[in-house]
Structure 1
Amino acid sequence: MNTSSNNEKLVLVTGGAGFIAVHCIIQLLNEGYRVRATLRSLNREPQVRAMLQEGGVDAGARLTFIQADLSAGDHWEEAVKGCTYVLHVASPTPKLNFKHEDEMIVPAREGVLRVLRAARDAGVKRVVLTSAIGAVVYGHPNQTEPYDENSWTNTTTAPAYQKSKTLAEKAAWEFIEREGNGLELAAVNPTAVMGPVLGPAYSHSIDIIKNLLTGKMAGSPKINSCFVDVRDVADLHLRAMTNPVAAGERFIATAGESIWLIDVARILKENLGEAAAKVNVKQLPNTLLKVLAMKDPKIKSIVPLLGINMNTTSAKAIRMLGWSPRTTQEAILATADSLIRLNLL
């Protein structure tokens, strides 16, 4: 990319303290863009700047912050003012102890619409929405073919968090179609996000590695997942932001084919030596987990996934955008190395 031509372009990144968002900010600044990031509280600015420095970037004045919350309408007009692009990365995180699924669905959907309305009214060229694999793979009969971008999660049977991601993305596409007035949209649907942690804020997927390394997991449930490095997720956001062919498209981000959690444990065990001493390479029986699920909401949330194939493909992003992700093993080991280095275990 020609970074000199980007100097005058301002990009809004929502949820600026998040794991994916911070990596997006690093790559935007490295490409010469100016960045404005939203935070629910401006008290988090020093933490974000510290994470950026850990990632090798001293943002200085090229990065500014604005307080804005997805659950409230104020400040969004100001947030998008003067922006060429918006990366809408912010999203409510999974809740385990919710009374009603709308606690996740309503903020996700309404937040997306707030950002899109403000972006349209401000003359933003394109919004890239961070959706999730949760909007693609849930609630289908078990299939052997990898899921691609034509697949949508079945919201009648999906868990609440995945349902919220699906309904939010669908609302975004409907908005663009009905009242976008020329605003362009692209969506990125990452699988389980791994990669270098830069501080105490990171994606919930990272807990898999943390729990394996600390011995908190007595073994691995029979769960299948694809993984992807956060640096490649950020790279895909930038490609989806600028490539003309990306408008109106969604892109799955996965490093490769799906693997089982026990394979993740083996990767750690075989590559980290003494640091992986507590990693338990044992398969937990489905029957045991179903019994434990009666008392533990966290375990209950994974029971529907036991033994289910979750394989997806990034062929579209590779073909259309020239995306070239790191391997699954690289993504997993980069996660572990950063957790160990930053004493976050």
Structure 2
Amino acid sequence: MSTVLVTGGSGFIGVHTILQLLASGHAVRTTVRNIDRAADVIAMLREGGADAPDTVGFVAADLLRDDGWREAAAGCDYVLHVASPLIDRVPDDENELIIPAREGTLRVLRAARDAGVKRVVLTSSFAAIGYGHPPRATPFDETIWSNIDDSDVQAYPKSKTLAERAAWDFVAREGGGLELAVVNPTAVLGPALGADFSQSIGIVKALLDGAVPAVPRIHFGLVDVRDVADLHLRAMTSPRASGERFVAVAGETMSMLEIGRVLRAKLGSKARRVPRFQAPDWLIRIAALRNPVARATLPLLGKVRRSTSAKAQNLLGWRPRGNEEMIVATAESLIRLNLVKT
């Protein structure tokens, strides 16, 4: 089978992608910013049921530095660029996210091209598609790009949009024979394998912990991490995927209140702290005067961004799990790993 490099192997999507590559018989190499994280990745792979996690190769490489990327890509047939810079606060300067996302993507693409890699699959985001637009009745699809000139578009959507734009431009101008495919997930849920999980899972954790008495009026498209990993593998190998973007979403958008209702219906007493009420927008605006997290939600209030994964389903045969299944799987994993209040 092929040798595949997965960047950011300690991340939520990265470790699930490695699991599926191993199960499919591929040789896997992954990058971590600090080689000490290798033990954490192996532990998460074991939690996920990997038969031979010790066969994964590790290379230390940082999106902000050139060191390690040539070594990481050498001898690989494919690269799945999953690594993404994230910070656990609202950045004072949007370039804290934009520069690492864009420059890191270009570092990976240069290393892949120079190593003779056949195809790179880039993990972008629905944030590169559905932001900065007026309300619309039709779902967002892969033909649309976020309008980053809109004043409500924040640092994260800008970083994902600019990084993906830079990737397409690089392949067109300097890629040689390198192929590119892009996966654009909505909010990613699914089984956590350790304490290192996505910000989207943090939403479910906050609901289970009862972190707030009432939830803001925010809606999400959802997709299971296992299906995101599956879509990466399909985009990696299918001849029809080269040069294409693929929205990864399971179905209709859901509000935080609706997610909470699923948790209470399916988990019983384990969901006793989940809020039952939706906060009025005026209350969130008052909270935003002092709370930067509440302030970051203001552009999202009441906006329903529907999207479609018809292209991935029709072109690649992708079949995602439903919203309820992934919400329950997320919550059960957090409970099993003792990552929520008891």
Structure 2 residue 18 is the aligned partner of structure 1 residue 22 = no
| Residue of 97, 102, 111 corresponding to 1:104 | 97
Give how far 1:91 is off.
Answer: 0.7
Larger displacement relative to structure 2 (55-64 or 148-157): 55-64
Mapped to 2, the partners of 1:224 and 1:151 lie a distance apart of 19
Alignment of 1:221-236 (within 5 A): 221-236=216-231
Give how far 1:60 is off.
Answer: 4.3
1:23 maps to amino acid = H
1:271 is aligned to 266
1:170 maps to amino acid = R
Give how far 1:301 is off.
Answer: 0.7
| Residue of 142, 145, 150 corresponding to 1:152 | 145
Mapped to 2, the partners of 1:277 and 1:161 lie a distance apart of 32
1:174 is aligned to 169
**TM-score, normalising length from structure 1?**
0.96
Mapped to 1, the partners of 2:109 and 2:67 lie a distance apart of 14
Mapped to 2, the partners of 1:99 and 1:257 lie a distance apart of 33
Structure 2 residue 202 is the aligned partner of structure 1 residue 202 = no
Give how far 1:142 is off.
Answer: 1.1
Mapped to 2, the partners of 1:43 and 1:26 lie a distance apart of 20
2:159 is aligned to 164
1:45 is aligned to 38
1:89 maps to amino acid = V
Q: Secondary structure at the match of 2:67?
A: coil
Mapped to 2, the partners of 1:199 and 1:139 lie a distance apart of 34
Q: Secondary structure at the match of 2:184?
A: strand
2:110 is aligned to 117
Give how far 1:213 is off.
Answer: 0.7
Runs of 4+ in 1 over 2 A off after TM superposition: 58-62, 94-99
Structure 2 residue 211 is the aligned partner of structure 1 residue 219 = no
2:140 maps to amino acid = Y
Mapped to 2, the partners of 1:97 and 1:211 lie a distance apart of 17
> Is there any run of 5+ residues in structure 1 with no aligned partner, and where?
1-5
| Residue of 49, 67, 72 corresponding to 2:60 | 67
| Residue of 59, 65, 79 corresponding to 1:86 | 79
Mapped to 1, the partners of 2:83 and 2:90 lie a distance apart of 21
Q: Secondary structure at the match of 1:241?
A: helix
Aligned CA distance change for structure 1 residues 143 and 60 (closer, same or farther; 3 Å): closer
Root-mean-square deviation (Å): 0.9
2:280 is aligned to 285
Mapped to 1, the partners of 2:155 and 2:79 lie a distance apart of 26
Mapped to 2, the partners of 1:324 and 1:259 lie a distance apart of 19
2:208 maps to amino acid = L
Mapped to 2, the partners of 1:46 and 1:276 lie a distance apart of 32
Contact 2:221 2:307 in 1 (8 A): yes
Q: Secondary structure at the match of 1:138?
A: coil
1:235 maps to amino acid = D
Aligned CA distance change for structure 1 residues 193 and 114 (closer, same or farther; 3 Å): same
| Residue of 24, 35, 60 corresponding to 2:28 | 35
| Count of residues in correspondence between the two structures | 338
Mapped to 2, the partners of 1:246 and 1:252 lie a distance apart of 12
Mapped to 2, the partners of 1:99 and 1:259 lie a distance apart of 30
Give how far 1:309 is off.
Answer: 1.4
The superposition leaves residues 126-184 of structure 1 with CA deviations (integer Å, 9 ceiling, x where unpaired) of 00000011101111001121111111111112101110000000000000111110100
Alignment of 1:318-337 (within 5 A): 318-337=313-332
Q: Secondary structure at the match of 1:272?
A: helix
Alignment of 1:306-345 (within 5 A): 306-345=301-340
Aligned CA distance change for structure 1 residues 94 and 137 (closer, same or farther; 3 Å): farther
**TM-score, normalising length from structure 2?**
0.97
Mapped to 2, the partners of 1:280 and 1:95 lie a distance apart of 23
Give how far 1:94 is off.
Answer: 4.1
Q: Secondary structure at the match of 1:216?
A: coil
> Is there any run of 5+ residues in structure 2 with no aligned partner, and where?
none
Larger displacement relative to structure 2 (195-204 or 58-67): 58-67
Mapped to 1, the partners of 2:16 and 2:272 lie a distance apart of 30
Mapped to 2, the partners of 1:35 and 1:51 lie a distance apart of 15
Larger displacement relative to structure 2 (41-50 or 55-64): 55-64
1:74 maps to amino acid = D
Mapped to 2, the partners of 1:178 and 1:155 lie a distance apart of 23
1:261 is aligned to 256
The superposition leaves residues 53-96 of structure 1 with CA deviations (integer Å, 9 ceiling, x where unpaired) of 00001334531100000100111111000000000000101453
Give how far 1:97 is off.
Answer: 4.1
